């Protein structure tokens, strides 16, 4: 009797184990970025946050969810508009909850995995920490991080999505920022006409004026706006006069060094035609105003960058051709990508 009882128990345990293993939830699906061969290696180490389809989908949902803000009115995508290369079209400075304004323009979000520092002053030095500033800034999303995490844990839909992306367990800030970083890691722009020309795509070449603009760019702009990212990632004083209304000392706010007075991050020129206004305070609404600044209006200060100290003269012909070349940096596939587009959060 005992022998048969033991046998029955073992059989039951075997069947139960098989059924249990059959019910095991599969892990997240790995996702591999397809990156151009002529780009440098990404700075962001994705081995610590491997991209998955579930993680990216979760990050996209979070990016467009206004419930990440204190009053559920402002999402990341509210300021970072896809049609403007994820900058904020036509607004000189950022604005958020309660109709509050920040004091700098909204930078475009793309090619972030190649950036060492974020924000105009480089105050954030890791992609996974970057969202913390806008989420908690009282002039932007104004939310308390602990309160946000509590709200996400109380949401059945989000509990399931975080479980799909990161496994069972409580939602925490680390998972929140990793999901957003996974989505932002897919915001890459490298399929413009310029890129097709550089890759010798059949039937694609610069017009005569675009080629002239490229020559002007190489001679007068490329030292700071280094190809193929069209930024060298540095911080420079480009001769803009101090804005007395915003009291912005630039990178000096971060380093407390007077050597960094009025220095701001060199932005990428990719998609620049689609993302006015320009400069850290959005003071220029037209690229020809930018050209005029470098050609005629550079202000001399102790930290002025040597590359612009003596101005960058641009003739009318050079300005026109340079504009046409910069237009070749527009990436329609990126701006119209369905995988990056806004999703309506209904539950």
pTM tops 0.85: yes
The architecture CATH gives domain 46-189: Orthogonal Bundle (1.10)
Rounded-to-integer distance, Cα 81 and Cα 68, Å: 17
Strand (E) or helix (H) holding 132: helix 132-136
CATH 1.10.760.10 in the chain is located at 46-189, 193-330
Q: How high is the pLDDT of residue 13? A: 47
Q: What is the pLDDT along the chain (347 residues), one digit of tens a residue?
A: 444 444 444 444 444 444 444 556 688 999 999 999 999 999 999 999 999 999 999 999 999 999 999 999 999 999 999 999 999 988 899 989 999 999 899 999 999 999 999 999 999 999 999 999 999 999 999 999 999 999 999 999 999 999 999 999 999 999 999 999 999 999 999 999 999 999 999 999 999 999 999 999 999 999 999 999 999 999 999 999 999 999 999 999 999 999 999 999 999 999 999 999 999 999 999 999 999 999 999 999 999 999 999 999 999 999 999 999 999 999 999 999 999 999 888 77
CA separation (Å) from 330 to 108, 142, 290, 323?
Answer: 13, 33, 18, 12
Q: Which residue in 165, 189, 213 sits closest to 62, CA to CA?
A: 165
Cα angle at 133 between 131 and 139, to 5 degrees? 120
Structure-block tokens of residue 232? 């060298």
Superfamily of domain covering 193-330: Cytochrome c-like domain (1.10.760.10)
Rounded-to-integer distance, Cα 49 and Cα 184, Å: 12
Please, which residues have CB within 8 angstroms of residue 22's CB and are 6 or more apart in sequence?
none
């Amino acid at each position: 009797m005992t022998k048969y009882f033991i046998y029955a128990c073992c059989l039951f345990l075997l069947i139960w184990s098989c059924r249990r293993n059959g019910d095991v939830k599969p892990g997240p699906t790995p996702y591999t970025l397809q990156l151009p061969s002529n780009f440098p290696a990404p700075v962001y180490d994705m081995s610590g946050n491997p991209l998955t389809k579930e993680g990216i989908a979760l990050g996209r949902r979070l990016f467009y969810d206004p419930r990440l803000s204190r009053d559920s009115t402002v999402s990341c995508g509210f300021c970072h508009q896809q049609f403007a290369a994820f900058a904020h079209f036509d607004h000189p400075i950022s604005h958020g909850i309660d109709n509050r304004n920040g004091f700098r323009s909204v930078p475009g979000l793309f090619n972030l995995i190649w950036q060492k520092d974020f924000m105009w002053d480089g105050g954030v030095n890791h992609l996974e920490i970057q969202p913390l500033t806008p989420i908690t800034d009282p002039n932007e999303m104004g939310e308390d991080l602990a309160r946000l995490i509590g709200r996400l844990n109380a949401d059945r839909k989000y509990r399931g999505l975080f479980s799909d992306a990161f496994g069972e367990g409580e939602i925490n800030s680390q998972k929140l920022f990793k999901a957003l970083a996974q989505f932002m890691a897919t915001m890459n722009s490298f399929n413009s006409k310029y890129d097709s020309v550089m890759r010798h795509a059949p039937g694609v070449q610069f017009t005569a004026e675009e080629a002239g603009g490229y020559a002007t760019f190489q001679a007068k702009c490329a030292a700071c706006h280094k190809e193929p990212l069209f930024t060298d990632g540095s911080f420079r004083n480009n001769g803009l006069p101090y804005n007395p209304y915003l009291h912005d000392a630039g990178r000096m706010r971060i380093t407390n060094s007077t050597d960094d007075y009025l220095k701001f991050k060199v932005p990428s020129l990719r998609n620049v035609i689609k993302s006015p206004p320009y400069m850290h305070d959005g003071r220029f609404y037209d690229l020809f105003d930018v050209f005029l600044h470098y050609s005629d209006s550079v202000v001399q200060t102790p930290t002025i960058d040597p590359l612009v100290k003596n101005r960058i003269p641009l003739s009318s012909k050079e300005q026109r051709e340079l504009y046409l070349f910069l237009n070749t940096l527009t990436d329609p596939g990126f701006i119209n990508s369905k995988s990056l587009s806004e999703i309506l959060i209904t539950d």
